Structure 1
Amino acid sequence: MLRPRRLVVASVPTLMAGRILLGAAEGPAASMSMHALYKWLPPERRALPSALQIGGAALGTLIAAPLVTWLIALAFGMVAVTIPLHYMTTAEVVPPAQRGAVFGIVAGIGTLPGLVAPFLTGHLIDTADTPAAGCTTAFLVAGAVMLMAGTCALTAIRPEQDARRLGLDVRPQP
């Protein structure tokens, strides 16, 4: 398995620096490549290369977006992908005046497992007959908690119903 320390983009500052450099190069890239095409080719032969250049940029984004998301998930864990989605989903159903308080509660509840899980896992390993049995029990407990939380979320979360109840605009977006 590929470990995060082996990745070049295994730190947030490196990721930010790469994104800044990409943005600085990406801005003038389309106009510079189009300018080069117009200098190299006569007017009657510019249509296909121009279309390929524009289509290639869109195709590159189509391929790179899932790939970069996968690399971020690999380098930083799935939390780096799911936390922004969690906040976006919450923002859809919470009125703007209450979002700050709700995000604070969500952040507090979200960090609680980071305090409880190491203690509980250590306790399960220490009280088991063997460390392997304790790890197995801890793994099964974590799986059961995730299964219960997922089931609760699937049965309780209804964004459209909550938005209607709160009087928010629920028209489908095109």
Structure 2
Amino acid sequence: MFSRPSLIARGTAAFALAATVGVATPAISGGKDKAFFEKVSGQWKGPGEIVAGKYKGTKFTCDLAGEPVAGNDAGIKLDGFCRVGVFKQPMSALITQKGGSYTGKFLDGADGKGLDVVSGNVAKDKVVVGINRKKLNGAMIARLQNDSTMNITISVKVEDTMVPVIGVSLNRQVDNIAVGSIK
């Protein structure tokens, strides 16, 4: 089995993706997906908890920044970190549209210490992304409740059932500085 920091890193990497993916339209829509990724880019911060398994009850916080991928392709690049107590784990993800779905990776992908994004679909107010690491299959669902709040659930497949293992609630971070001009 994986060590506790390793499991937390993989799980938080998966929800980190969700933090920047939020909501959109079907993957085939191209321009609408690109607009969506631009909409959810920015700074996100918030608490999470492992809700099932060996580390049930472990709480963490994440601070993540997302930006749309360069060029005409739809997708997002994510960087940041998640913290469990005094331990700080770097987080990164790259997700890009490929045909009618999405591909990408968290951290260094399933060949390293991360996860692969193997599928994806964006809808009105949520995104569902298929994740994989060797024999572990799962999904991440991110639902944008409003422009500044996103809830994320990461589930893994156990036999024929999807079991939620991580829950996260992120808030968009904005500057409170008033900007204007003087006539």
| TM tier, smaller | under 0.3
- 1 or 2, which has the higher strand percentage? 2
